[in-house]
Amino acid sequence: MTSRRAGADNLSAPIAIGGITVDPPLVLGPMAGTTNRVFRMLCRRGGAGLVCGEMVSVNAIVQGNERTHEMLATFPGEHPVSMQLFGSEPAIVRDAVPAIVEAGADIVDINMGCSVPKVRRNGAGVALMGEPKLAAELTAAAVEASRVPVTVKIRAGLTVDEDSYVEFARRMQDAGAAAVTVHWRAASQGFRGTPGWEPIARVASALDVPVIGSGDVQRPEDAPRMMRETGCDGVMIARGAWGRPWLFGQAAAALRGDEPAPEPGIEVRLGVALLHAQMLVLDAGERIALHEMRAQMHHYVKGLPRAGHFRREANQLHALKELYELTVGYAAEVRAEASSEGAP
């Protein structure tokens, strides 16, 4: 299958979501506890064409929850940026959207794919795929209240045995969605299963608006392969970007038909990790930064020698200085071991 876009042979060509240009057509997916504005900035600088914030509750927005409003803050250099909301009442969505736009969102995204129980129990997230009329009303309400494009993120249905997600996507388009992102798994699969991108292809062939493919893009070459196999217009990278904000630049090269840069060496890899930590300290304070970096450092050292020992040590830290000392010492030890193994 080839892309539906003009210039289908040029997979790296920008796409337009409403009036927003996404160049290259690579999107950082929203992830709780990860896609704050610091990580979004790193991924934007790493080559992402669009970055997405963590999912936020429309109820919390209209209630004036301070933490939720802080999550909507953006850096000037990270745009274009999409902010994802979840909710189940059109009236509340209509009230919340202007605040999201005012905070700096270039795109408002409605989550209709999250299968976390506490979200689903409240009729939001993927539960909306079982209520297509309500889902269309939510989308229409957001479009009515927004001066920026509204998009929708869905899964391939509630179970693997049904295919109503194609008609569901059409209804979101008809309600005004400027693009639809499709995660190839059904809600019943969670994050399990062998990648099967056919659901993305089915939605891409049915819609006129841009379709973004999502799910299991871990390597640079996965991006062009997904686009060629499904005909989607762009690719969302989420968990694949954990500890690897440079993956977007590698994937962009693959879309152009160029050889992607190799994975960075330990110095660059851990240097980016320390930059991530320092930016978080400046943005949120040392206590919050260290709490978040305990999890993020796990990703930055994944696959490196004695990564398990490093992670255990990192979990005990209480100050940025300690993280710096641990990281520098760890890098020196790994280099020394590699040097001794290569000695005659």
Give the catalytic positions in this structure. 114
* DSSP code per residue over 298-320: HHHTTTSTTHHHHHHHHTT--SH
The set of residues, in sequence order, having a beta carbon less than 8 Å from that of 86 and lying 6+ positions away, is: 55, 56, 57, 58, 110, 111, 114, 119, 124, 125
For 3, phi then psi, to 5°, come to -65, 150
Alpha-carbon torsion (226, 125, 64, 137), positive or negative: positive
Please answer whether residues 28 and 45 qualify as being in contact, where contact means their C-beta atoms are separated by less than 8 angstroms: no
Other Cβ atoms closer than 10 A to 208 = 8
Q: Give all strands (DSSP E) within 162-233, no chain letters.
A: 179-183, 211-214
User: With 0-12 CB in 10 A as exposed, 13-18 as middle and 19+ as buried, what is 241?
Assistant: buried
